[in-house]
Amino acid sequence: EVQLVESGGGLVQPGGSLKLSCAASGFTFSDSAMHWVRQASGKGLEWVGRIRSKGYNYATAYAASVKGRFTISRDDSKNTAYLQMNSLKTEDTAVYYCTGATVTTLPDYWGQGTLVTVSS
C-alpha cells in the first residue's frame, strides 16, 4: 500500500522558515518524481514544485509564486522528500500535500496534507 506522510507543518511568522518532510513507502521512491501541491482554505489546488529522480539528475521546477523562496530536495536512502520554505508570506498559508508521480508524470498518490499557517 502506498503511503505518503507529511510532517513539519505549523505556525510561523511572516519572513520565517519552515521545512516539511514527506516519508514515502509502498512504491519505488527512488524512481519516482515527487511533487508538492498546496491548497488554501476554501480554495483550489496550486502546484508548488517537483523534483525528479536520480536518473534525471534530481531536476527541480517551481511555480513562479515560490521560486527563489522554496526548495525541494530528497533523500532516497530515507525514502523522504522535503520542502524548505523561506521568506514565508501570509499568502503561503495552506495545506501542503506531498504527492508522488509513480506511474505518470503528474501526481498519482497524495499524502493527507500538513497545515502551514503564516501569521504574526
- Which residues form the interface with other proteins (CB under 8 A)? 35, 37, 44-47, 50, 61, 63-64, 97, 103-113
- In the bound state with other proteins, the residue whose beta carbon lies nearer, of 9 and 113, is 113
∠ at Cα 24 (119, 96), nearest 5°? 20
What are the Cα distances from residue 69, in Å, to 26, 52, 60?
A: 31, 19, 13
Smaller CB separation from other proteins, 57 or 77: 57
Closest CA to 73 of 98, 47, 43, 96: 98
We find the least distance from the C-beta atom of residue 109 to other proteins, in angstroms, to be 8
Instruction: Give the number of other Cβ atoms within 10 Å of residue 86's Cβ.
Output: 14
Quote the CA–CA distance of 70 and 68 in Å, as a whole number: 6
Smallest distance, other proteins to C-beta of residue 78, A: 22
Q: Which is nearer to other proteins, 4 or 18 (CB)?
A: 4
Closest separation in Å from C-beta 5 to other proteins: 12
Q: Output 15 or 103, the one with its CB closest to other proteins.
A: 103
